[in-house]
A and B are shown apart, each in its own frame.
Chain A
Amino acid sequence: MPYYPEVATIQGLVRVIRERRLPSEAVPRPTHTISNAPVEAMQVILEGDVYREFRIIDVGAALKARRKENVADMIEVDAGQQVQFGHELARRGRGRRARVLHSPADGLIVLAEDRRIILQVSERAIEIQAKIPGQVQEVEPHLVRIAGSGALIQCAWGNGGFCYEAFRFLPEEGFVKLSKLDVSISEYRQMVIISPYPINKGDLLVAQQQEVAGVVAPSMSSDLREFAMGLKFPVILTEGFGQRRPTTLIYTLLQSNMGRQAAFNAAAPDRWSWERPEIMIPLPTGGSTPPTPALDQALQVGAQVRMTRAPWDGLTGEVVELPPAPQVIESGLRLPCARVQLADGQARLIPLANIEVVG
C-alpha cells in the first residue's frame, strides 16, 4: 500500500525554488523586481504596508465648520490615497485665517465623504528579502518566485532571523574557547558558528558577545525559545529541542562546504507558512540544471530516510523492506512500519509516521 511520507531535503546539489510572499493583509508597494533578473539573498524583492487601526476624523468638528457649510468641499483627499503624517486632509477658508486639518499619522484614506474622513493607520512597512541567491522566475504583486542551485539542508526550528554569511565549525573546546577570544581579531566574528552539540543559554550569550553572524546546532532546551527569539542573529536547530543527537548527514554536508557563504534562513515555525528553517549553500552547477527535490512521492525500498522520533531520532538509513502488515514497535503500538537499515548495519522497524524522506 503506498505511503507518502514527509520530505526533508538534505542534499548536496539541488535546484531550489522558493516563493516569497507578502502577508495577505499587506498592501503591496510597486516592486522593482523583474522576471529573469538575478537576485542576491539579502536583496529586498517585495515591499508592502500593513494597515490596521481606523481613525474616524470628524472634519466638520475639527475645522469648526458651521452646520450649513458644505464640509465635503473642504476635504482635499480621496479614498485610496496614501498620506503621510502631517499631510493636509482638509482646509476651511483661505490665507492666515484658514483652518487646516492635518493627518494624525501615516496611512491610507479609506473614506472621505460628507463630514468625515476615515484613515487607516499604517502599522508597519514590510520588506521581503530573496533569502536565496538565484534568478527571479515570476513576479506578482504579492509574490516573487526565485530559483537557485546549491546544497539544501532543511531544519527543525528557527528563531526568525536570517543572514547570508560564511560559516565555520565550533572549535573542539566548544563555546568556552570562543569566549576567550578577542572579538576584534576573532576569526569567528561575523561568521555563522556550526555546533555539532546541543547548545545552552551560556553558549548563546558567548555567541552574542563574540558578534557571530548566526548559530546552527542540533538542539537546545525549549525553555530558551523566547531568549533565542530575542537575539539579533539567526539561530537554527537542525533536530529540535532537548538533548538531540545530530543528523550526521547534515553535519557532514556542512563540513564539506565549510568556509563558503550560505543563506541561513531561521524561519520561525508556522504551520501555515511556506517558509521553513533551512540552510542553502549556493554552488556552481557547471551549466546543468540539478534536480528539484520531489515533495510528494510514495515511500519505496531503497529510499534514504531520517527518523524523527525517539528512540532513533536523528539517525538516517535506507528502507530495506516495507512489511505489508502492521508491526508491533517498542512502544507496544501496532503500526504500519518500514524496516530501515541504519549506519551501524542493524535493520530496525520504524513506524512510517516517524520517517521523513531525505529528498
Chain B
Amino acid sequence: MRITVTRSGGFAGIVRNATLDTRQQSDAAELTDLARTALEEGRGAPGPVVPDGFFYEVEIDGEMLQWADPHLTAAQSALVKKVLGEGSPGGAP
C-alpha cells in the first residue's frame, strides 16, 4: 500500500509532502490496518476550514482524500504523523 500525504496551511504556511510504502515497513500489517481505518473514516468532506489550521491531502493506493484540522480522527492523525515523520519527502506520482 502506497500512502502520500501533503500538508499545507498552518500558521507557518509551509507545505510538507511525503510518501510511504507499507511494503517497506516492518510494521506493514499494522500500518495497512491504520490506513484502512483512516480511509473508512475519512471519505466524506473535510470539516470546516479554521484559520491557520493544517489541511491534508492524502492519497491511499490512488484514492484521494482531504482532511482538515481539528477534525481528524485518531487513526487519521496517527497516519499523517507516521507518513510525514517516516516517509520519504516528495513522492508525487
- Real binding pair: no
